[in-house]
Amino acid sequence: MAAEKIFLIGLMGSGKSYWAKKMSKWIKCAGYDLDDLIVMNEEKTIAEIFAEDGEDYFRKTESKLLKWFKEKKKYVLATGGGAPCFNDNMQWMKKEGVVIWLDESVEILVQRLIKEKAHRPLIAHLDEAGIATFLQQQLVNRFSFYQQAHYRLGSDEIVESVLKKLIQKHVA
C-alpha cells in the first residue's frame, strides 16, 4: 500500500505531535497537528472550546477539519486522542492513508501528562492517580477504535526505527 498520508493516533501524551514533526522532516513533507488547527480555526484554546462550546461542538469541529485534509497531498497528521473514536473519522483516515497507533504505556503517559495537564481539559482537575485511572478507562473505551489502525507501536518498541521502516515501506 503506497501512502502519501500518514495519521498518528493514540491516547493523549503518546507523542503524536512529536513524531509527526520528526516524520515530516524525514519524508520532507508537511506535518500537521489537528488540535493546533482547531485552535487556529476557532481562535480559542482547546480548554476554552470545551468550557464554552462543549465537547460535542469540539468533536464536530475536529471531524470537519480532519476532512479538510482530503484536498491535501503528502503529509503526516497528529490527531487528538479522541479523534479516531468519533463520527466516521477512523474509517475515513484508513481510507485516505496509513494509520499508526502509538500505544505508549499508561505509566509513562501519566508521568508526561502530570506536568502539562493544565492544557488538557479532560484531565486538568485530576491528580496522578486520577489521571492513571482516567487513561486506563479511556484505553478500554477507545480500544475498539485504536486497534483498527494499520500499525500498533507498543511502548517496548524503538519508535524511531520502526517509523523509519514504515516510511520506507509506504512512502514513495
Q: State the residues that interact with ligand S3P by CB under 6 A.
A: 12, 16, 35, 46, 80-82, 120-122
Is residue 101 within 8 A of residue 90, CB to CB? The reply is no
SS (H, E, C) 36-104: HHHHHHHCCCHHHHHHHHCHHHHHHHHHHHHHHHHHCCCEEEECCCCHHHCCCHHHHHHHHCEEEEEEC
Compute the least distance from the CB of residue 49 to ligand S3P, in Å.
Answer: 9
Spatial separation of the C-alpha atoms in residues 158 and 161, rounded to whole Å: 6
Using CB atoms, what's the residue nearest to ligand S3P? 80
Measured from the CB atom, is 16 or 171 closer to ligand S3P? 16
Set of cell numbers at residue 74:
503528502
Compute the least distance from the CB of residue 170 to ligand S3P, in Å.
Answer: 23
Compute the least distance from the CB of residue 52 to ligand S3P, in Å.
Answer: 14
Set of cell numbers at residue 171:
512512502
Measured from the CB atom, is 117 or 171 closer to ligand S3P? 117
Compute the least distance from the CB of residue 33 to ligand S3P, in Å.
Answer: 7
Measured from the CB atom, is 16 or 170 closer to ligand S3P? 16
